[in-house]
Every structure is written in structure tokens, then in C-alpha cells.
Amino acid sequence: MELNQVTLPVQDMPEAVQFYLTLGFTQIVDTPQYARFSCPDGDSSFSLSLDKARITNPTVIYFEHEALDELYEALLKKGIVFEQPPTEQRYLWKEAILRDPSGNKIKLYRAGENRLNPPWKVNIQA
């Protein structure tokens, strides 16, 4: 099985689309109610769905980037506001936190080998 995409609710589609374009994603679907983006690296995608209701979305979406510090600096220059600069975490990931215009929480991070193989990885016996 492979994860196809994650869909985030947004309240203002044009504003949200511009935000994700600024982050560096490529838009592959464009409708007034729905937008889809591909990630710069790999085959991952995600989408936005228009939802005018005021919602609280507790989900956090993570985007990994090997040059996190450089990406952070470049996005600051483009006017992106962060809640947290790139910070080393106790679980061996470096994360920067921001929110899209609809309040969806995003973490830009770098984990390297620890993303799938942390020192505490469960050893599953077949």
C-alpha cells in the first residue's frame, strides 16, 4: 500500500494556493473548490479542499527537506511567517513550524536516516 495524498481544508482557495506555491510546491489541479500539488521531490502529493466553515484541524502535515535551514531562510525572505525556527528535537528531527492561511499546522523538517530508522525502532519478527 502507498499513501496517495492528504487533503487539507482551506477557507480561501486563492490565498491558500498562493501560499503553497510560495512554499515551492507545483500545482497540478486547479478548480474553485479543489487544488492539488505535487512535492518538488519524490512522488508525493497533497490537496486542498474549500471549506467555508470555520474549522479546527488538529492534523499536522510534515514536509521533509534536506537543506532545512536554507529553505527556512529563503521562505523568510518571501514573507512566510514561522511559529518556530528550525529547532533540534529530542526525537532527532529538526523542525520548523508554520501555519497556512487557514490555520493548518505545517512542519518543515529534516530527519535523514532517523525518519524511518530511529535508534528506538521496533524490531518486528516475521
User: In angstroms, what is the C-alpha Rg of the chain?
Assistant: 16
Nearest to 32 by CA among 18, 47, 12: 12
pLDDT at 126 exceeding the cut of 80: no
φ and ψ at residue 63, rounded to 5 degrees: -125, 120
Q: Could you report the per-residue pLDDT of 16-67, keeping only the tens digit for each?
A: 999 999 999 999 999 999 999 999 988 899 999 999 887 788 999 999 999 9
Domain containing residue 56: CATH number: 3.10.180.10
In angstroms, rounded to a whole number, what is the distance separating the alpha carbons of residues 9 and 63?
17
Q: Give domain status of residue 24, yes or no.
A: yes
Q: Give domain status of residue 119, yes or no.
A: no
Q: Give domain status of residue 89, yes or no.
A: yes
- Domain total for the chain? 1
Name the pTM for this structure.
0.91
φ and ψ at residue 39, rounded to 5 degrees: -80, 150
CB count in 10 Å sphere of residue 55: 12
In one letter, which amino acid is 14? P
Q: Give domain status of residue 121, yes or no.
A: no
Q: What is the DSSP string of 69-103?
A: HHHHHHHHHTT--EEEEEEE-TTS-EEEEEE-TT-
Helices marked H in 1-126 — which ranges?
A: 13-23, 68-77
Q: Give domain status of residue 126, yes or no.
A: no
Q: Give domain status of residue 26, yes or no.
A: yes
pLDDT at 4 exceeding the cut of 90: no
Nearest to 39 by CA among 22, 58, 56, 26: 26
Domain that holds residue 102: 5-113
